[in-house]
Structure formats: structure tokens, C-alpha cells
Chains A and B, each alone.
Chain A
Amino acid sequence: MTLRNGRPGRGLLSRGAPDRPALIDASTGAAVSYGDLRARGGAWSARLGPARTLLLLVCRNDLFTTVAYAGAFEGDHAVALLDSQASGPSTAGVVAAYRPPWIAGPIGLGEQLADNAVPVASVEVVEGGELVRTGYPAELDLHPDLAVLLATSGTTGSRKFVRLSAANVLSNARSIVDYLGLSPDERPITSLPLHYSFGLSVLNSHLAAGATVVVSAASVLEPTFWTTFREQGCTSLAGVPFTFQMLERIGFREMDLPSLGTLQQAGGALDRRLTELYSSHMADRGGRFFVMYGQTEATARMAYVPPDRMPEKLGSAGIAIPGGRLRIETTSDDGGHGAGSGEVVYEGPNVMMGYASERDDLVLGDELNGVLRTGDLGYLDDDGFLFLVGRSKRIAKVFGLRVNLDELEAVLRRHGPAAVVAGQDSIWGFCEFGTDESVAALALAVARDSKIHHGAVRFRRVAAIPTTSSGKVDYRQVERWVSSK
């Protein structure tokens, strides 16, 4: 396997037999073998030039994205993944912060970038997409270990990225292969976006297993998704809690899917009823249901519940993945969650190098040394199973997207006193200013800018934001407003 400058790749594809399919395009049924993927990936890498460089990849769930990603990764380049649904200005903001020499994405990307004041030197149509050479210099300082950059937040306005090394990506992929027992016969379908760490981990782990990934852009709510699933004999499906709410509503448990063997769930806590239902459903059909816990800061995954420990460990986020370790750091302030609770600390080879917020940060090395303070609060039971009880940072998950409540609150505070809290798959903003109409308009604007669904952003006018005796916002009191609605 030769890629850039005749050097071997990073090893993501090393277990794939040359004649076995690595990717199948759901829209055409065309297969890309591991041999083809190495060749096409090598060509991708060569297009980016002989020196290590930075590719910003505007992701869709298609062959173009997966081949470009695999090519850039194996070619020893650094690749930053962005959501193709992000607005032109928000993508341009990321480009301005990182000044990537190369940007790849769907047809029309070059024009959209130019419209948003990105310097575009040339646009080449490649494999059904576009490769844009920007006006930024090709020479740039990249830390030698840097391989992948993933956005920290589901909200795409953010320019903060997680810096991952090739070792981070490969160790997490191999650990997943190990605990899921993935063989080359596995055939997952892409049910989550590739720019999202959980979605990317499904691709990485199955490529690392020499298995076949069926690349589909359809959602589980579209009939074509299930036609592909059956025709391609898909064996597994990964979802966030909202995916399982959708599956339940469309009668998933009554569907005839003879090839299905594994369901994977992460991206926030699934409610107890659905966890119980899907766990027993998969056991009944001779398959497996994996509840998992992860963060982009740990490449993707940190813990999983072995299916044979269900229902005994219902509600747990699981045990540490192979190669990782979980511990609880207790402090005098347990946040009111009881003795034994504290911040969840994860240690393992998949812990990120650190964050980046602009190009200069890409020269930085490993700042965490394999230790990640997750910001989650929890405890370990006697068998080492993790139970999460809350968060020390104010972060909410809305339909699987991570939303920093403090950042959102700061946006509202530009207009006047405000408090932002999370409800069930919703964000509530309480404002001491404006009119009913103006706060509703603000909610729409915030939803649009942050890419949170508009129905999930609810702003209300209130007479006063409650504060604690020390003058801070009394979030418990504010949260009571939400639960009473």
C-alpha cells in the first residue's frame, strides 16, 4: 500500500482485503473495494501535493466525502470535517480562522465560498464534487501528529475544533472493533452525519475491521433508507436518542430486517423505556443492542454496556472501552448528587491532543497526555459500571447536537438580562427584555445561526430572572419554569 511519497498509509485500511468492498454507494449500488479505495484515496492525497497540508472537507454522507476523507487521512494530511448544512457565512468564518489551502465539498462549493468572500484561486471538479484551491499559502505549520479536526459542538457557528492525532483515531477505531467484535462481514449503513464524531467512528471502526460501509444520505424516515438496508443486507445501525424515537414511531420493531444484527446507541442518554424496549427486542431477535458513552474530545467513544449485562445495568453508560480507564474525581462539592459522585475522568489513547480555535493552534502538540476531564458528573458501581447524574459544565444535548448553554446565554445577554436552560430536546431562553414578538424573532435567529431546529428553541419574556443570594442566576429555579410547561 503506497500513498503519499511512497510511504505507507496510517493504517486505517490495512485490514481490508484488496478485493473486498470497503464502501457501497446507496444511490447507485456501486461498490468501492479496499484496493480501489487505496488507489482513489492515493489519488486524492496526491492532488493535495507532496507536502503535508490541511484539507477542509465539507461533508455529506456520500462516496465523495468518504473517499476524500480516507485519502487525506491515509495520505498523512490533516483533515477538518464540516457540516454541508452549515450556512455560507458560518463556513466562511471557519475558513477565515484556519486559512486552509484546500477545501473539498459538493458541486457549487467554490461559488458559495467566493460569494462569502473566501479567496478562491481555482476550482477543480473531482469525483463528482469540487476541490477548491484557496488563495491561502500551501505552506503551513502543522504538528506532525495532527490528523483530524472535528467541531466541538453540534452548533455550526462554532470555530472551536478538537485536534485528533492519527493514533487517537486508530486506537479508538480498534478498540471499537474489539468490543463490538467486528468482522469483515459487518455491513453498517451510515445513519449519522460523517462530520459528527459518532458518525465518523462508525466509518472508522468498520474500515479498521475490513468491513463494508453502506454510504447513504437518507434518514430513517425515508423509504429509500429501508430499501437500501434490505437490498444491501445491512447488519447494523447507529443512532442518537432521537433516532430511536423516530424508529419507534415508524414501527421499527415490527419491520422485517433479516440481516440486522446490531444496534448502537450514543449521543446522550436514551430514556429508560426505549432502552429497555430495544435491548429486549434485539435480544429476542438474536441480535445485540449497545448503549455507549462518548465525547468528541475522546475521538468518539469511552464506555459501553455489554449487551449481556442488560437489563441488570439498565441506565448505566457502561464500562470503559478496551484500552481506556474511567475514574471519578470527587470534590467537597458533589453538586448535591450524593457521596461517591464526582467528575468523570477518562484516560486512554483516544483522548484528544487539545482544542484549536484558529490556524496557529494547529502547531500545538498533545496538551492532555491522555487524561480527559469530561465535565460529566457520575459514579461507578461495584462492578465498574458508570452511571451519569449530571454535568458540571452547562452543556445540553438537543437531538444529539451539543449546545453550550453559557455561550447561548451570552448571545441573549447582549440584549438584556437573560437565562438559558435545557428541557427535553429543547432550549429555553428567559428574557427580561423585549416584546413577545421580539423574543420570538430572536429565537428564530438564534436557531438559524446555531443550526438548532427552530421548534427546539423557545424564548419567553419574564418579569425577572431569579438569582441566588450570591447574585448568580438561580438555574434550579429557572429549570422549574421549564418542567411546569
Chain B
Amino acid sequence: MTDTDRLDDTLRSVLMLPADADLATVAYGGTETWDSVAHMQLVLAIEETFGITLAADDVVAMSDYPAATRILRDHHGLALDR
């Protein structure tokens, strides 16, 4: 399983998205299931999945899929292809 798959699975599971959901368009406040409670759970789930600790600024900045990819790739060196 690639890091991208693991990120996708984490998002789908925490945000309760169907398998065919277009993750590129999910966003905090825009996706119905992505509210503040889900955001905190998402942060925890990503940290557990990848064994990392997100910086405080990144917790706020990680508000959609591209942002999550960028943060995990640039700040944590994960191999994310999107």
C-alpha cells in the first residue's frame, strides 16, 4: 500500500466517504462530514497512520486534500504522488 493509498483510506474512513468519492474536492467546511470534530479526528488518524506529529500551523492549514498532500510531502517526506 502506497502512502497515497493510506492517506486516501484515512480520509474516506474518518469523513465517511464512499469508495468512489472524488477526494480532490473534499474540504473542511465544504464537505458535510468534515467539521471541527472530524478535523481533530483526521489529524489524529493521520498522525497514527504515518507515525508523525503535525505542527500546530499545519493542523490549521490542512483544510483540503491538496493541502494535506503538500504538508505530508513537504514537511514529513512522505511519498505522495498527488
Q: Give chain A's interface residues, CB within 8 Å of chain B.
A: 219-223, 226, 242, 245-246, 249-251, 254, 399, 444, 453-456
Contacts and interface: CB of A to CB of B under 8 A. Distances in A.
A399 B33 CA distance: 15
A242 B40 CA distance: 10
B interface SS class: helix
B40 A246 contact: yes
A221 B28 contact: yes
Contacts of A222: 28-29, 60, 63
B36 A246 contact: yes
Given A221-B59, A222-B29, A249 B43 contact: yes
Given A222-B29, A249-B40, A455 B56 contact: no
Given A223-B61, A249-B56, A455 B39 contact: no
Nearest to A219: B36
Contacts, number: 48
A455 B41 CA distance: 8
A159 B59 CA distance: 37
B68 interface: no
Contacts of A455: 14, 37-38, 41
Contacts of B28: 221-222
B36 A221 contact: yes
A456 B37 contact: yes
Interface in B13-58: 14, 16, 28-29, 33, 35-41, 43, 56-57
Most buried by B among A221, A226, A251: A221
A454 B40 contact: no
B59 A250 contact: yes
A271 B55 CA distance: 23
Contacts of A444: 16
B37 A242 contact: yes
B37 A453 contact: yes
Given A221-B60, A454-B33, 11 more contacts: A220-B36, A221-B28, A221-B59, A222-B29, A223-B60, A223-B63, A249-B59, A250-B60, A453-B38, A455-B38, A455-B41
A169 B14 CA distance: 40
Which among B16, B28, B38, B60 has the greatest number of chain A C-beta atoms within 10 A?
A: B60
7 contacts: A221-B28, A221-B63, A222-B60, A223-B60, A249-B59, A250-B56, A455-B41
Given A454-B33, A455-B14, A221 B39 contact: yes
Contacts of B59: 221, 249-250
Contacts of A226: 60
Interface of B: 14, 16, 28-29, 33, 35-41, 43, 56-57, 59-61, 63
A85 to B, nearest CB: 9
The 9 closest A-B pairs by CB, nearest first: A251-B56, A453-B37, A219-B36, A250-B56, A455-B41, A250-B59, A250-B60, A221-B36, A221-B39
Nearest to B42: A455
Contacts of A249: 40, 43, 56, 59
Nearest to A453: B37
Nearest to B39: A221
Contacts of A219: 29, 35-36
A194 to B, nearest CB: 16
Nearest to A425: B37
Contacts of B61: 223
Nearest to B54: A249
B56 A254 contact: yes
Contacts of B41: 455
B60 A245 contact: no
Contacts of A221: 28, 36, 39-40, 59-60, 63
A226 B61 CA distance: 12
Contacts of B38: 453, 455
Contacts of A251: 56-57
A454 B35 CA distance: 11
Contacts of B60: 221-223, 226, 250
A196 B8 CA distance: 35
A202 B33 CA distance: 27
A254 B29 CA distance: 25
Contacts of B56: 249-251, 254
B61 to A, nearest CB: 7
A242 B36 CA distance: 10
A186 B33 CA distance: 35
Nearest to A447: B16
Contacts of B35: 219, 453
A454 B36 contact: no
A317 B61 CA distance: 35
Most chain-B Cβ atoms within 10 A of its Cβ — which of A219, A245, A254, A444? Answer: A219
Nearest to A454: B16
B38 to A, nearest CB: 7
A220 B56 CA distance: 12
